[in-house]
A and B are shown apart, each in its own frame.
Chain A
Amino acid sequence: MSLIDNAFILICSALVMFMTPGLALFYGGLVRSKNVLATIMQSFIMLGLVSILWAVCGYSLSFGTDIGGLIGGLDFAFLEGVGMTADGSPADNLPHLTFMIFQCMFAVITPALISGAFAERMKFAGFMVFSALWLILVYAPMCHWVWGGGWMGEMGALDFAGGAVVHMSSGAAALCCALLIGKRKGHGSTAFIPHNLPMTILGAGILWFGWFGFNAGSALSADGFAANAFVTTHMAAAAAALSWIVAEWFHGGKATTLGAASGAVAGLVAITPAAGFVTPMWAIVIGLGAGVICFGGIMLKNKLGYDDALDVVGIHGLGGTYGALATGVFATIGAEGLIAGNANQLWIQFVSVVATWAFCFAMTFVIFKVVDKTIGLKASEADEDKGMDIAEHSETGYQW
């Protein structure tokens, strides 16, 4: 066990934890003022719900003894055998508790990401049950497949910090939810104008900051690989912030602050699977592509007309997919992608993309339908008019 690595990963865990309230602000600023608290809550309360589920069984299902490459066993349920030493830890340089809590923070933010798709129109009780089931039935298997000794990792799919586990999975779930729950009342005729963009920009800044823990920490050691992941993360975000506003400008508009913030997040998403496997210069290339591709994805949404309210599909779904494929192209550190002459890696990445989308979309479909039929998910039109803050939480964000 390494004390330095332990210190580093505990700090990274706190950084990743901070991303969830950052996401709450990022999303909160984008909705109308009558829905700001409900939107913030759908991210913030995941720190409560998912953390407890993670300790009870989520961690064990993800990292317990492999069962057929599909799921972990219940040997670590209730954190049994997860202690202060490296005994049983998937990372033998870290106390098992450190590894567990670092992974916990990833689990927390993933269902929170989905909430942007159904923002401004979902009932809170249904949302909590949906999120709990989603964590157990979608996140835990995905996490096991990629990092817990499951089939996707064994196949050789590269996912440094969660392109598939966190971003593609939440993006696929977001598309499914947006299609099933339907549009917000007034979609297409009413203006859905963000009520507080400074809040959104602050949230994006906090996400960027926390992402250093997410990606550099995924090296699981305070070494040069962590330094490389830190730098690639920063460069990709920087490049994508620039390329998004250039794309906006070519599209006939002006460079917007929301575009800069969205671009930065798109770059962070796209570099997530690649962060430890590519050099900083290729990270810039990946980032430049991410800003343009995700902007294009959102333009496409505006054409197709489904109501992914806060663009989870365009940024996390598309950005994660692009990042996974880009990893197969540009990997040169500790793995070989297309530019290193290994076309097979790109094929493996492609298979992992298709499997992730198919599994997460289908499973989300089932969970959504079950919760919708039993508890109910879509808020009434009267409650939409009132705003979800009053309707679901009996409070308002602003006293004027």
Chain B
Amino acid sequence: MKKIEIITRTFKLDEVKTALSGIGVKGMTVSEVKGFGRQGGHKEVYRGAEYQVDFVPKIKIDVVVEDDFAAQVVEAARSAAQTGQVGDGKIFVSPVDEVIRIRTGETGDEAV
């Protein structure tokens, strides 16, 4: 099994979710995160005092799928999230040792 972490622009959440649902992804976890990469931060001004805000709000979507499904999920997410501008984000893929469904105790691909 693979865990796919998609970190991208907040307003792309719906498009990525729709694309993944469309190819049969059954569930996902979403978090609001902050970070920076090449895009860098932005300036905020309060009563004339300027602050450089480095951490930009992003969303992180976590999906765990069977090994041979991973490439398709990555491609669907990438094409849905892409704008072509700096700041589109990144996708990380990593192996998952075990998955357990709490309700039934099922494990492995059955539980994904």
- Tell me the A residues contacting B by CB distance below 8 Å: 191-194, 248, 251, 253-254, 256, 258-259, 262, 295, 298-299, 302, 311
Contacts and interface: CB of A to CB of B under 8 A. Distances in A.
B11 interface: no
Interface size class for chain B?
under 10
Contacts of A193: 44, 46, 51, 53
Nearest to A256: B45
A259 B47 contact: yes
Interface of B: 44-49, 51-53
A251 B49 CA distance: 12
Given A191-B53, A194-B46, A253-B45, 9 more contacts: A191-B44, A193-B44, A251-B48, A256-B46, A258-B46, A258-B47, A295-B47, A298-B47, A302-B49
A253 B46 contact: no
A192 B47 CA distance: 11
B47 A253 contact: no
Nearest to A298: B47
Nearest to B50: A253
Contacts of A192: 49
A63 B19 CA distance: 74
Nearest to A315: B47
A262 B47 contact: yes
Contacts of A295: 47-48
B48 to A, nearest CB: 5
Nearest to A259: B47
Contacts of A251: 48
A262 B46 CA distance: 11
A251 B47 CA distance: 11
Interface centre among B45, B46, B48, B53 (most CB of A within 10 A): B48
A20 to B, nearest CB: 22
